Amino acid sequence: MRTRTRGAAALTAAALTGIALLTTSTSGVAAARQRPACTPSWSEAALPAPSGAGFPTGVAASSTHNVWFTGTPAGMPLLRWDGKTIAAAPQQLPVVENIQLNSTSTALDATGTGWMLTQSFGAGSEATTSFQLRDGRWTMTPSAVSPDPKQRGVLLWDVASLSASDAWSVGRFYKPEKGAGPGFAKPTGALIEHWDGAEWTIVDNPLDEAPGAELRAVTAISPTDIWAVGYREDGDGDIAPLTMHYDGRKWAETPAASTSAVLTAVSASDTGDVWAVGTLMGGGQVSMHWDGRTWSLVDGIADGSLADLRAVYAAAPGDVWAVGTGTNGVNQLLHGNGSTWQDATPPAMRQSGTDFHLSDITGTGPDETWVVGGYDVGDGSHRPRPLAYHRSCGGS
């Protein structure tokens, strides 16, 4: 997942661009008008050969020449796109015997700094570990500690980065139980943490002590415009989507569209264009759109129903991408215009005898999009091969 920040710098750049256009000669303007429009297309990106069965489960981009791919380091090292090729980064994550780190979320800000969350499994333990990217290097950084670890454990699912001193992560509080990992324990409240440049701290929110409430994803538009989504359980045990907003002062719950669903991903192109996707409790996908005033359900899934939507990328108003699983188990890449969705899966992903699993999608604007995952070629090895597809004007 990715986070893009818009602020005074962006406005200044836009103003300067406007001034430059006004002072350009007539012939220069005519030449600009004749310049052919960009027509992006999908192409498969070459990835380094994996050392094991790992494949990328996350992708985050800060620019067209700085994209990171994360997954299961035991089988796939951290990878980085520099604008020309994808190469393995030097080993930076700890290697501990009988412990496996699986990346659950990665986010970069406009400066290229960012965060990665991992879940560690093995040796009878399961925990969230956070790593900060700064000056091209990942460093393990402690997350906030529960005020009462014996009664309230903490588990993080997603992270959003605005700068080296401003990041947010979300997840759940849970009741620790012997023999049950935090991912399987029932949530006892929605968890929100904030990074201030020195440490992570737990931040109060209206549902931090609400049984059955959990946040699964977060996206940051600006320091005063942040969204987190997940689900909550009412008194009758029914599940409802949960949407929360931060205005720079406090977190508040906002009424989600009326349905029974778990929201698992969120993305925004601006303050009036926010998308959240997930899974209906009765089966099938759900997508919601925030227009600056209210959340509304968006139907119109083409070519049959989907079992879920697991990742979303809002490139611009009326230009949104998502990945999900069809009811037949076949993964799909979808493109939406704001009111309907269309199957936009590249032809290469449809080749006979190949089972694709799409994990995440991101980009840096309407003309730059990345989707990652793995595929099984059907040779009986059941070892997923990594894949990455790049949509751009220049290909990969």
Let me know if residue 61 belongs to a domain.
yes
* 140-180 confidence digits (pLDDT tens): 899 998 888 888 989 999 999 999 999 999 999 998 877 66
| 316, 267 Cβ separation under 8 angstroms | no
**Strands 341-343 and 385-392, bridge-based pairing:** unpaired
Question: How far, in Å, CA of 105 to CA of 216, rounded?
Answer: 10
**Does residue 204 sit within a domain?**
yes
Q: Residue 91 in contact with residue 77, Cβ under 8 Å? A: yes
Burial label for 242, CB within 10 Å (0-12, 13-18, 19+), is buried
Place of tokens 């599940």: 239
Instruction: Kindly tell me if the per-residue pLDDT of 279 is higher than 50.
Output: yes
Domain annotation covers residue 163 = yes
DSSP conformation class of 180: B
Spatial separation of the C-alpha atoms in residues 144 and 196, rounded to whole Å: 12
- Indicate whether 366 pLDDT > 50: yes
Domain ranges, residue 117: 8-392
Rounded to an integer, what distance in angstroms lies between the CA atom of residue 129 and that of residue 260? Answer: 31
- Reported as a pLDDT band with limits 50, 70 and 90, residue 64 is very high
User: Residue 370: inside a domain, yes or no?
Assistant: yes
Domain membership flag for residue 77? yes
Residue 182 in this model has a pLDDT that exceeds 80: no
pLDDT, mean of residues 210-219: 97
Residue 265 has pLDDT above 80, yes or no: yes
Q: What local confidence, expressed as pLDDT, does residue 18 receive?
A: 37
Six-digit token string for 298: 């968006």
Residue 379, pLDDT score: 66
> Within a domain: residue 2?
no
pLDDT score of 150: 85
In a domain, 347, yes or no: yes
Q: What average pLDDT does the chain have?
A: 82
User: How much is the pLDDT for 96?
Assistant: 53
Q: What is the CATH number of the domain that holds 96?
A: 2.130.10.10
Domain membership flag for residue 3: no
122-135 per-position pLDDT tens digit = 444 556 889 999 98
pLDDT digits 0-9 by tens, 9-59: 333 333 333 333 333 333 333 333 344 467 899 999 998 876 666 788 899
Q: Which residues contact 271 (CB under 8 A, 6 or more apart)?
A: 221, 222, 225, 292
- The residue among 394, 387, 301 whose CA lies nearest residue 351 is 387
Q: What is the mean pLDDT of residues 354-374?
A: 90
- Domains identified in the chain, total number: 1
Q: Could you tell me if 205 and 251 are in contact, meaning their C-beta atoms sit under 8 angstroms apart?
A: yes
